[in-house]
Structure 1
Amino acid sequence: MPDSDDLLWGALGDISRFAALLTMAELGLADHLAHGPLDTGELAMRCGAHAPSLRRVLRELAAVGLVRPAGNDAYDLTDKGAALRSDVPDSVRSSIRMLGEEGFWYAMGMLPATVRDGGSAFVKRYGHLYDHLAANPATSRMFDDYMTARAVPITEGLARRYSFPETATMVDVAGGRGHILATVLHANPRMRGVLLDLEHVVDRARQTLAAEGLAGRAEVVSGDFFASVPAGGDVYLLASVLHNWDDVDALKILCNVRQAMNPGGRVLILEVALPDDEEPHLGKDLDMRMLAIFNGGTERSRDEYAALLGQAGLSLTKIVELGSGASLVEARPR
């Protein structure tokens, strides 16, 4: 563990470094530098920036290894910085832009007020996250890109490390653009899928599944999981769903799933199972975002999942660690 001075001063520096990183992502600097170095004036003109201000950001980006000086007030992109290009596999550009989006940035900065009050300052200003996204299509698309990028290594871990029933129907509850469902169906060619999500999301899910050649094996329906979920599934996947809600609302979702599932079915919760010790863990970082953005949103420990599932008539049967800090919690009817 670093000593306390290193930890505290490092955290202060992280704010400044992230702001420079966000500027790089928002202005598309990596895309502009993708084909070779540019001097600061030319780069500023291409991305619509104030050259003297941009020069100071480039100096910070060079200090963390994302760009490098190329002589005559010019900068070149490094291999590390290439991860912010929008046209490369596993690009992190959308993820950085989403975390720096106005509402997210406000939410984290107002965390002290949230903790004092017990209610999210974000919700007070912007409403529930998904209402905010529905009202702002550009932000919604950016959020979808962020969730897709975040899900890639986790989804690959799910397909490799979990054994699905060969001929099951999987219902992906709040399945977003359908990338998780597509990955599972490709890995399990005899399975079928149903994706449920809100009306403003499902068209993009249909496009994804059609592009993946899965339109004949996957149905997409719009709906509200607080009202009901599609019946007759053998596997119900809740990926990054329950942590958005407090125990009362999460229990409503689980009860709807329990009522809809086939006998002998199973529920898979793809989130984070918090450790019981005080060691650093990605889930504890994510929990600060849940606290800031949602009223009642929370990451949960194994015992907390077990108690919640028990109230819905389900038993926690195992937890599979998928890598990248993610866990798969499996539950079956009691």
Structure 2
Amino acid sequence: MPHSDDLLWGAISDLSRFSALLTMAELGLADHLAPGPLDSAELARRCGAHAPALRRVLRELASQDLVRPSGPDSYGLTERGAALRSDAPDSVRSSIRMLGEEGFWYAMGMLPATVRDGSSAFVKRYGHLYDHLAKNPSSSGMFDDYMRRRAIPLTEGLAKRYAFPATATMVDVAGGKGHILATVLHANPRMRGILFDLEHVTDHAARTLAAEGLSDRAEVVAGDFFAAVPAGGDVYLLASVLHNWDDEDAVKILRNVRQAMNPDGRVLILEVVLPDDEAPHLGKDIDLRMLAIFNGGAERSRDEYAALLGRADLTLGEVIEMGAGASLIEARPSDAPG
């Protein structure tokens, strides 16, 4: 087992390593190096950087096997580094850029202040995350790409691993741009769908569903889930929604869903479920981001979700591991037959 000092100093070094990774992502180094190796002066010219400063970053990136020397003062892209190409199928470039975005970077750096008074330093400076993104189109674009890429394995897992009722109507609450709903409908050709989200999102969602050839099976409805959600659905999906809100707000959302759903309907919650032990888990890392960025946002354990659902007259049922740290929680009305 590593000595505790090694763990601590490793965590300290991780800040420098991530900063080099962020520089690689921001400057698009992987895209520039994709055709072949370049000397650092030419690479600096292509990405608009200061050559002596870039050389120092390349040295750090080489130590992480993201680039490798290919001659005197020349570097090429490694297989690991290729994951930062914009066109890579599993590209992590937008994810890295999003975590280094000004507001996110500030939020994590100010976590001690947030912990001191329990109120997000990010919110104090930037307001609610989605308001901040609305004011900053470039950040919003990065966030959308980050969320889309993060959702791909979860969305595919949802469509393949959950047995949807063959002729159900699914209401995707806060369904965003419509990618999850489209995937589910393609996998279940007799289902219909309703995408429900704020008005400024619904135009984009309608375009996505139309481009997927689903306009005849999917409806887009604008509204506020704190007021009400579309009634009469058989399945209500809440994907990465409840973790943005404190317990009281989460219960309000769930109660509105419970009131709207058919008597034999079900709620599907796609979120990280925290383990009950102290073992490392991706959800614990994400939970600190939620603490830093939202007032009241949190990842929760199975028991905590069961408690929220109970307050909304819903009963927790099956919990399916979906990979990538996430789980699918199924809930039904507490008075449902069987």
Is this a same-fold pair by TM over 0.5?
yes
What secondary structure is seen at the aligned counterpart in 1 of 2:170? strand
1:226-305 equivalence runs, <5 A: 226-305=226-305
Corresponding position of 2:210: 210
TM-superposition CA deviations, 1:169-189 (whole Å, max 9, x none) = 111111112111111111111
Q: SS of the counterpart of 2:71?
A: coil
| 2:92 is the alignment partner of 1:84 | no
The alpha carbon displacement at 1:225 in A equals 1.1
Give the SS at the match of 2:52: helix
In 2, Cα distance between equivalents of 1:233 and 1:136 = 35
Tell me the equivalent position of 1:67: 67
Whole-angstrom distance in 1 between the partners of 2:263 and 2:212? 30
C-alpha separation between the residues in 2 aligned to 1:138 and 1:216?
Answer: 33
Distance in 2 (alpha carbons) for counterparts of 1:220 and 1:105: 34
Residue 320 of structure 1 aligns with which residue?
320
- Whole-Å Cα distance in 2 between the matches of residues 309 and 191 of structure 1? 26
Q: Separation in 2 of the partners of 1:136 and 1:248?
A: 29
Question: Is the 8 Å Cα contact of residues 272 and 327 (structure 1) preserved in structure 2?
Answer: yes
- Give ranges in structure 2 of 5+ residues lacking alignment: none
Partner of 1:25: 25
Q: What is the aligned partner in structure 2 of residue 40 from structure 1?
A: 40
Structure 1 unmatched ranges of 5 or more: none
For 1:208 and 1:166, the matched residues in 2 are separated by 23
Verify the 8 A CA contact 1:40 1:51 in the aligned structure 2: yes
SS, match of residue 288 in structure 2: helix
> Letter of the aligned partner of 2:331 in structure 1?
A
Matched, 1:311 2:311: yes
TM superposition shift of 1:119: 0.2
Separation (CA, whole Å) in 1 of partners of 2:230 and 2:57: 50
Does 2:99 align with 1:114?
Answer: no
Count how many residue pairs are aligned between Structure 1 and Structure 2: 334
Cα distance in structure 2, aligned partners of 1:137 and 1:62: 33
1:98-153 Cα distance to aligned partner (Å, 9 max, x none)? 11100000000000000001100000000011111122222112111110111111
What is the percent sequence identity of the aligned residues?
81
* TM-aligned CA deviation for residue 232 of structure 1: 1.4
Q: With the length of structure 2 as denominator, give the TM-score of the two structures.
A: 0.96
Distance 1:46 1:138 in 2: 21
- Measured on the aligned residues, the alpha-carbon RMSD in Å equals 1.2
Counterpart amino acid of residue 166 in structure 2: E
Can you list the C-alpha shifts for 1:155-178, whole angstroms capped at 9, x where unaligned?
Answer: 122122211111111111111121
**How far 1:90 moved relative to its partner?**
2.0
2:175 aligned partner, one-letter code: G
Which SS does the other structure have where 1:195 is aligned? Answer: strand
Q: Give the Å deviation of 1:215.
A: 2.2
1:89-238 superposed matches below 5 A:
89-238=89-238
Contact conserved, 1:134 with 1:200, CA < 8 A, in 2? no
Q: Does the 8 Å CA contact 1:273/1:302 hold for their aligned counterparts?
A: yes
Q: Tell me, what secondary structure is at the counterpart of 1:70?
A: strand
* TM-score (ref. length: structure 1): 0.97
Which residue in the other structure is 1:329 paired with? 329
Distance across 2 between alignment mates of 1:67 and 1:210: 41
Letter in 2 for 1:150: R
Take 2:220 and 2:21, find their aligned partners in 1: how far apart are those partners?
Answer: 37
- Name the amino acid aligned to 1:66: L
Deviation, 1:44, is 0.8
Closer, same or farther: CA 181–2 of 1 in aligned 2, 3 Å: farther
Secondary structure of the residue aligned to 2:238 is strand
